[in-house]
């Protein structure tokens, strides 16, 4: 069972963060940067160790240095070279590397059908 919250040590403060509020996680060696809607935190773990703590059906690797909360993706379009641009609900556009396209599409198409 994956946790619903993680604790980020932010200087002297410890911030309890809801996992569902995470938009994306990026590598910021030797830390990772955890991005929320309007804030980001440095976390002293590797991208790999953080990804192992999160639900792999929701947090999908996009690039060797980026993990995205798939529920925050509102659209994606091909760059015609195998890579894609993903539009997040907060307006940020990130690159989906061709290495991770099939995994992304499998998760996006099975769990996130939109009915009109």
Q: Is the pTM of this model over 0.95?
A: no
The rounded percent of the chain whose pLDDT value lies above 90 is 51
- pLDDT at residue 32, rounded to an integer: 93
**Per-residue model confidence as pLDDT tens digits over 41-78:** 998 889 999 889 899 889 999 999 999 999 999 989 99
What is the Cβ-side half-sphere exposure of residue 45, based on CA atoms within 13 angstroms? 15
**DSSP class of 72:** G
**DSSP class of 106:** H
The rounded percent of the chain whose pLDDT value lies above 70 is 93
């Amino acid at each position: 069972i994956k946790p619903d919250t993680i604790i980020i040590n932010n200087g002297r403060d410890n911030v309890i963060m809801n996992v569902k509020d995470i938009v994306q996680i990026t590598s910021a060696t030797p830390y990772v940067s955890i991005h929320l809607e309007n804030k980001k935190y440095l976390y002293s773990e590797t991208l790999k160790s953080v990804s192992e703590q999160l639900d792999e059906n929701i947090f999908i690797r996009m690039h060797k240095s980026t993990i995205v909360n798939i529920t925050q993706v509102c659209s994606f379009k091909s760059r015609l070279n195998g890579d894609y641009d993903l539009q997040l609900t907060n307006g940020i556009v990130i690159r989906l590397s061709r290495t991770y396209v099939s995994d992304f599409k499998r998760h996006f198409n099975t769990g996130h059908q939109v009915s009109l």
